[in-house]
């Protein structure tokens, strides 16, 4: 099963692709979709959507796992990130890729067993679980891999939304 994990954002959306099989979980690729500050939001969302579609076409994931919004102090930020999540979900839906959503607490529990794990702990677990030589960079890509790993550990218990 190939899993596309996404950590949504309007400036940077992290993506991580892993493959789960009988032998375990294997790293495929990771990186970021980026947009430029100062560009009107509709153009940024179009870029995120188109780049997500390209990822889906290139890697042909069986499922997409996306980080759910949990809490933001700034209402403007939550609205913008929600819009980015929306276009990511639309891109997957249009390609008939099942979509799963995970809150940060669920992701941290799946990787570390501790819901308050910090970013460094999460990154080290991603590195360890995927047998990588170093922590994936940038942080958004590592976060997206964590979302994908969370799904790999949780998929048998969940149904697509």
- Residue 72: what pLDDT? 60
Superfamily per CATH, domain 2-157: Ribonuclease H-like superfamily/Ribonuclease H (3.30.420.10)
**CB proximity list for 125: less than 8 A, separation 6 or greater:** 111, 112, 117, 146
Residue 118 designated active-site: no
CB 95 within 8 A of CB 49: no
Give SS3 for 153: helix
Catalytic hit among 19, 67, 143, 155: 67
| DSSP character at residue 159 | -
Mean pLDDT by 10 residues, the chain (161 residues): 97 97 95 96 98 98 92 76 96 98 94 93 97 96 98 70 44
CA-only gyration radius of the chain, Å? 15
- Residue 75: what pLDDT? 77
- Residue 77: what pLDDT? 80
Closest CA to 94 of 105, 106, 86: 86
- Residue 76: what pLDDT? 76
Catalytic hit among 7, 19, 51, 143: 7
Q: CA of 22: how far to CAs of 17, 27, 150, 160, in Å?
A: 17, 14, 17, 22
Cα dihedral angle (65, 83, 34, 67), rounded to 10 degrees? -20
pTM: 0.93
For the chain, give every domain's residue range: 2-157
- Residue 161: what pLDDT? 44
Catalytic hit among 43, 50, 101, 140: 140
Find where tokens 């690729």 sit.
29
Q: Which two tokens stand for residue 135?
A: 């922590």
Residue 68 designated active-site: no
């Amino acid at each position: 099963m190939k899993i596309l994990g996404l950590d949504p954002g309007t400036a940077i959306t992290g993506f991580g692709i892993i493959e789960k099989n009988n032998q375990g979980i294997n790293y495929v690729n990771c990186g970021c979709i980026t947009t430029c500050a100062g560009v009107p939001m509709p153009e940024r969302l179009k870029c995120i959507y188109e780049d997500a579609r390209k990822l889906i076409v290139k890697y042909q994931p069986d499922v997409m796992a996306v980080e759910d919004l949990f809490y933001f102090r700034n209402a403007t930020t939550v609205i913008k990130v929600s819009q980015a999540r929306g276009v990511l979900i639309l891109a997957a839906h249009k390609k008939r890729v099942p979509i799963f959503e995970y809150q940060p607490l669920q992701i941290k529990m799946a990787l570390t067993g501790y819901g308050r794990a910090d970013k460094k702990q999460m990154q080290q677990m991603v590195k360890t679980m995927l047998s990588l030589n170093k922590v994936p960079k940038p942080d958004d890509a590592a976060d997206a891999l964590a979302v994908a790993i969370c799904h790999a550990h949780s998929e048998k218990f969940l149904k697509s939304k």
